[in-house]
Structure 1
Amino acid sequence: MLAVSQEAIQCYGPRCIERAREGSKYCSDNCGLKLATNRLFQILPQRIQHWQAASSIAEENNRNILEAIRENQQEAKNHLVQLDLRHKNLDALIERAKNATIDPDAENAQDEEETEMSMYCITCGHEINCRTALRHMEKCFAKYESQTSFGSIYRTRIEGNSMFCDFFNPQSMTYCKRLKVMCPEHGKDPRVAEDEVCGFPLVEDVFRETGEFCRCQKRKCNKHYCWEKFRRAEIDMERVRQWIALDDLFEQERHIRVAMANRAGVLGLMLHQTIDHDPRNPMQKIISNPKQPIAASN
C-alpha cells in the first residue's frame, strides 16, 4: 500500500514562514500563543465596549435578587437581636423570682386545682397521673434521649454564646450537637433550694402577661415544671433556625456574585455577544476598531 502524502502547509503564526507541524497549523506552541494574543487584542476591546453599552437583563435580575437577599439577611439579624433581648429579659425575670418569697396561698390554690385524672405517657406508654405528667414526661424523655448521640467532628463557631452542648467525646472524636440547655447526657439540672420560688410569668387570655409570677415552692410546683429550661430551649431553637437561614442566604449571595463575576470575564466576552433587535430602543452606537479581526480556524 502506498502512503498518502500530506501537503505541507505554512504556519499560521504571525510573520512566521516555517512549515507547520504534522497534525497542527503551527510550527510551535509559541506561534499559536502569539496568534491567540493578537486575537484578544483585536476582538476583546470591541466586546468590552458592547458589554458596557448594552444593559444585561441577567445582571439586573441578579442585582434585584441580591437586594432581596440583603433584606432577608437584615431581617434575620434583627430577629437574632430580638432573641438575644428575650434571653436577657428571661434572665432578669428569673433573677427577680429568686428574690421573692413563697406564697402559701398560691400553693393551696394549686392543690385545689389538682385532679385524679390519668393519662398515658407519650414516650414510654405507661399510665400516669395528670398532676405529675409534666415531671414524668420530662424525665422519661431525658432517659430515652440520652441513649442516642448527635455528634459532629466540627466544633460550633458562632458569634456570642453557643446554643449547642459541644461536649467532646474522645472515643468517637465528635462534639455533641444537642441544645446545651436540653442535653440530658452532658448537662444536669441545677439543684433547687427549698425556699426557691417557681417564678413562672402568669398570663391571662392565654398569651397576655399580667406582670405577676408564680410564687409557689419550686420543688412542689408540678404545673410549671422546668419552665425556664423550656423557655431557653425555645429561644435557642429559634436562634438555630435564624442562623441556618443566614447561612443559606450567604450561600445564595456567593453563587450570585460568582455568576456576576464570570459573566464579564474574558471567556464569556469572547464566546457571547449581545444583539439588540428592538428598533424602538436601539443600542448605543459603538465606534468599532477599523481593523478587522483575524478570522482563522484553530
Structure 2
Amino acid sequence: MIDFRYHLVSLIAVFLALAVGVVLGAGPLDDPIGQTVESRADALSQSNNELRDDKAELADQISGYEDFITRTTPALVGGRLEGTTVALVGMPGVTEGQAETARAGLEAAGAAVPGSVLLTDDWTAEDRATELDDALTRLMPPDVSFPEDTSSAARAALVLARGIVTADPAAAGAADPAAKTLLEGLREDGFLTAEDEPWKRGSLVAVLAPLPEEPKPGEDTTRERSVLLAVPRMLATAGAVTVVAGPTGSAESGGLVADVRSDSEVAATVSTVDDVDTPAGRATLALAFVAARADDPGHYGDGPGADEPLPDIEGVTNK
C-alpha cells in the first residue's frame, strides 16, 4: 500500500531533479548552448546580409544593362522597318498596355502600326464556338474561301487574317472597307476589341502572347491551345511575315510561344521572341521582323527552344 512517506520521497525527487536542471542550465551547460545558438544566429544574419547585398548588386547590374539597351535601341533598330506596315494582334490575356508598349517599339524601328486587335476570352470559349462560327460566316468577305475540311479554329483564324493582314505590301496601310466591317462586327459580338484602325492591314504581323496559366485540376486546355495556335499559323499562311512575342516565361510549357516552337510546321514559318517584356526583347522583336523579311525566321530569347538571344542580321538590308 502506498503511504505518505512514498509520496513525500517522490515529491522530494521531483524537486531535486528540477533543482539539478536549473543549476546545470544556469551553470556548466548554459555557456556552450548559449554560445552555439548565438553563433548560429550571427552566421545566419551575416549570410542574409550578404544575400541582400548580392541581390542589390544584381539589381543594379540589370538596371544598368536595361538602361544601356534602352539608350542604344534607337541606333540598333532605328529605320530597320521603315516603309513597312505591321498589324498587331493580342491573344486573350494580353492587356492594352502591353499592346501599346509593343507598338511603340515597332514604331521606333520605323514601322507604321495603324491599330491593334485584342482577342477576348470568347474567341476560345467552347460555349461560344457556334456563335463565333455564325458571326464569321455572316461577316466573312466574299474573297475568303477555304477547303470544306478546314477546322473551325483554322477558319476563324483565316477570316481574322483577312481583317488585319495582306500578302500585298502595296496594299498595306490602306483602309479596307471589308476588313473594317469584319472587325467591327466581331467587336460588337464581343470576340475582340480594336484600337485605332487595324483594318489598315499590315504585310507584317506581331502576335502578342500572355504568360501561360496553370490549368485547374482536371482541366483540359488542348482545344483552347489549338484555337490559339491556329492564329499565327493562318496569319503566316495568308502571306504575312509573322512573329509571336511573349513575356519572359511565355516559352514554358502551355504558352503560345512554346506551342509554336514545338510544332515543326508552324516553327518553320513563324518567328518567336520570348522576352518582349524587357528592353532587349522589344529590340529583338523589331530585329526578328528584319530577319524574317530576309527569309530567315528564327526563335529568340532565353527560354526553352530559343535558337539564340537575338537574330544575326549582319549584312541584312531593309527590303
TM-score, normalised by the number of residues in structure 1: 0.29
If you compute each CA radius of gyration, which structure gives the higher value, 1 or 2? Answer: 1
Identify which of structures 1 and 2 has the higher relative contact order when contacts are C-alpha pairs closer than 8 Å and 6+ apart.
1
TM-score, normalised by the number of residues in structure 2: 0.27
Task: Write 1 or 2 for the structure with the bigger share of helix.
Answer: 2
